[in-house]
Amino acid sequence: MTRLLLRRVLASLVVLWLASILVFVLSRASGDPRHLFISEYTTKEQWDAWGQKFGLDRPKPVQYAIWLRGVVQLDFGESLRDHVPSIVTVARKIPATLQLALGAFLFAVGVGVPLGVFAAITRGTGWDLVGRTFALIGQAMPGFWLGIMLILTFSVRWELFPAGGRAGLNSMILPSITLGWFAAAALLRLTRSSLLEVLDSEFIKLARAKGVPGWKVVWKHALRNAMIVPITYAGLLLTGLLTGAVVTETVFAWPGIGRLAIQSVFGLDFPVVSAIVLLATAAYLVVNLLVDILYGVLDPRIRHG
């Protein structure tokens, strides 16, 4: 287990390093960043001063080394729009995205897992069909379309929830449902298939042959083994919700990292874009590592393998 974790840590560092190279190359793909904030009144002295300040007058490998040294210290440069450190601009948006992702996560787990268990134990019935239909529609429905329909129904027509913005818990219900809908459908299918596989295993058949009550077979024996895969997916799901909230935050004008990323891309604010991409990559790798540890705790075959 220790050797496996060391390999995963090393692989994560390599992935993060490759991501930093990709971000640096793409941020320079449009040419010299000085062209983004020059004007017809810019003098040659100002041009050269900016080049020295940002290291743009040096070879690209040297520029990357200087930039990477700053990134390691969480210095991604100054935002071209706000004129404050990029990490500060991103940090201001983190609470809003965390709130939205947590709401979507609770919705996905609270809906997907119970419905998946219920669909599995009622296999072949009408309830199972309803669950599988929900999963199919949930994974096929575009998030932006669902968000717009929720706004038109619950905000415009019935006036039950705000149409956008972040103003209390009431305003996060529709965005949380929109962001967590696909995840709930995926968890439903994953929980159902995992539980059905365990219910068809030999040790479950043996428990039933010994006269163990049906509810005890499911809750005490089958469910614990069946939840290994859904729990692993749920761990990665939280990071996916954090990094995948771009569409939802745009539809609901939610002031989070996803909306900031869109604004920064269109505003050519490369320092902020670089900070968002690398921090999101690092968060995903850390959560992935924690999920591997949890998987080893739940599955002795991994722990002792």
Distance CA 14, CA 250 (A): 32
For the entire predicted model, the pTM comes to 0.81
- Calculate the CA 241 to chain-centre distance: 3
User: Terminal CA-to-CA distance of the chain, rounded, Å?
Assistant: 7
Residue 201: exposed, middle, or buried by beta-carbon count in 10 A (0-12, 13-18, 19+)?
Answer: middle
* pLDDT at residue number 19: 92
Is 199 within 8 Å of 120 (Cβ atoms)?
Answer: yes
Is the pLDDT at 31 greater than 80, yes or no? no
* pLDDT at residue number 93: 92
pLDDT (tens digit per residue) in 189-201: 998 988 888 877 7
* pLDDT at residue number 36: 65
* pLDDT at residue number 44: 75
Domain boundaries for CATH 1.10.3720.10 within the chain? 87-303
The domain made up of 87-303 has a fold known as MetI-like fold (1.10.3720)
Distance CA 204, CA 212 (A): 10
Which amino acid is it at 232? T
